[in-house]
Amino acid sequence: MSVTILGIESSCDDTSASVIRDGYLLSNLISNQDVHKAYGGVVPELASRAHQANIIPVVDKALKDAGISKDEIDAVAFTRGPGLLGSLLVGASFAKGFALARKIPLVEVNHLYGHILAHFIKVDEGSKHPAFPFLCLLVSGGHTQLVVVRDYLEMEIVGQTIDDAAGEAFDKCAKVMDLPYPGGPVIDKLAAQGNPNAFTFAKPRIAGYDYSFSGLKTSFLYFLRDNIQSDPHFIENSKADLCASLQQTIVDILLSKVQTVAKDMGIKEVAIAGGVSANSGLRSALTALGQKKGWNVYIPAFKFTTDNAAMIAITGYYKYLRGEFASHDLPPLARMPF
Ligand code: KG4
Ligand code: ZN
C-alpha cells in the first residue's frame, strides 16, 4: 500500500510544504520571508503574519508540483516545536484544519528529528542513507547537538551547547561585522577568499561532549574592537580573512567533539544536519576527516540543510508507519523535549 504524506513546516521564518510518497520526494516548496532582513534578525510577530499569508499558496503549489490532488494525501505531518510559538501556531492550525476536513490522520513532528531524518528522503534510486546506529551533528540557528541515532525514531542527545548555537555564533559575529542576516551563508561566501590561518580565536575548554560558543563570540568582538583602535577600517580591510578564520575556528570546535564521540562509542557512520551543515568549510573538513578515520560520512543536499517541509514529511512518514498519530488538541510547543 502506498503512503502519501503532506508535510508542513513553519517553526521560524520559512513557510514550507512538501509531499512525500513512500519516502520519495514529490515536491518541496519553501517561501522565505524577506521582511526580516531590515531588522537584522527574525521578528516573531512579522513571521507569523507572513506564515498566514503564505501557507495556503505554498501548500497549493506543493500539491501542484507533486502532481496530486488533496484526495491522495493519507496524513498531514506538521512541526509541533521547537520554534517561535506564533509561527508554529499557523502551521499547526492549518494542518489540523486540513486533516479534519479531509478526515485523515494528523502527525506531530519534532523539528529536530526532521533535520536528522532528512537523511532518509529518497530523491532517486541512488539516494544514500546512513546505517543505524549513526552519529549526527545537528547544527542550526537554535541548536547544536550531538545525537546518537539508533533507529528512525530512537535518538539520544549525548552532547549539546551550553549557551549559543553554532548558527547563532555565525549570525552574531556577522552582525558585529555589519553583514546582513542570516550571517552564516554570507560568512561562508566571504571565507572562500580569505586565509583561515590569518587570525586565531580562543577555543572553549568544555569537558565531555558539550559545546560552548558564547566565549568565541565575545573574543571575536573584543578582537575587532582592539584592532579598530589602530585601524578604523580593519573590518573592511580584513573581512575575508576574518570570515575564513572565524569559520575555521567554529568548524574545528564542532568536529573535535564529533571525533571524540565517534571514537568513544566506536561509531563509523557520521552525519551532519541543520542549517549550518550547508557550510562549505564544515562539509569539506568533515569529508576529509571521514577519509582519514575511515568513516562513512553523510552530508545532506543543500536544499535539505535549512528549514524545509520535506524533512517534516519524511519524519511524518515513519511515524505514520508506526501508527503514531496526534490528537487535535495538542498545542504547539516553543520548547519541545527531544
Ligand atoms: O536549520 P535552520 O534553517 O533554522 C533553525 O532551525 O535554526 O538554520 C539556520 C541557521 C542560521 O544561523 C544560518 O546562519 C545558518 O543556519 N546557516 C549557515 C549557512 N547556511 C545557513 N551557517 C554557516 N554557513 C552556511 N552556509
Ligand atoms: Zn531548523
Chain centre distance of CA 152 = 17
> For position 119, what pLDDT does the model report?
98
CB of 137 closer than 8 Å to CB of 259: no
Whether 329 maps to a domain, the answer reads no
Ligand 1, residues at Cβ distance < 6 Å? 12, 140-142, 167, 170-171, 182-185, 188, 274-276, 278-279, 306-307
Same domain, 165 and 190: yes
The grid coordinates listed for 131 are 546505517
Looking at the structure, tell me whether residues 150 and 282 fall in a common domain: yes
Considering only CA atoms, which residue is closest to atom 3 of ligand 1? 306
What is the per-residue DSSP string for 177-212?
TTPPSSHHHHHHHHHTTS-TTS---PPP--STT-B-
Kindly give the distance from the C-alpha atom of residue 162 to the centroid of ligand 2, in angstroms, as a whole number.
18
The whole-number pLDDT of residue 42 equals 86
pLDDT in tens, 54-64: 999 999 999 99
Residue 262's domain comprises 134-300
- With a cut of 70, list the residues of the chain below it in pLDDT: none
pLDDT in the model for residue 127: 85
CATH of the domain at 221: 3.30.420.40
- Residue 39's pLDDT is 81
**Domain assignment present for 327:** no
**137-183 pLDDT per residue, tens:** 999 999 999 999 999 999 999 999 999 999 999 999 999 999 998 99
* Cα(105) to centroid(ligand 1), Å: 31
The count of C-alpha atoms lying within 13 angstroms of the C-alpha of 134, restricted to the half-sphere facing its C-beta, is 24
Tell me, yes or no, whether 331 lies in a domain.
no
The candidate with the shortest Cα–Cα distance to 309, out of 57, 3, 8, is 8
What per-residue confidence (pLDDT) applies to 318? 98
pLDDT at 230: 94
How many domains does the chain fold into?
A: 2
Q: With contact defined as beta carbons under 8 Å apart, do 21 and 74 qualify?
A: no
Q: Is residue 203 located within the same domain as residue 222?
A: yes
- Do 285 and 316 lie in one domain? The reply is no
One domain, residues 295 and 309: no
Report the pLDDT value the prediction gives residue 98, as an integer from 0 to 100: 98
Q: What is the pLDDT of residue 40?
A: 77
CA distances from 52 to 43, 198, 334 (A): 15, 46, 18
Is 71 in the same domain as 88?
yes
- At 158, phi and psi to the nearest 5? -105, -15
pLDDT at 260: 98
Report pTM. Answer: 0.95
128 domain-assigned = no
Residues 93 and 198 occupy one common structural domain: no
192 and 263 assigned to the same domain? yes
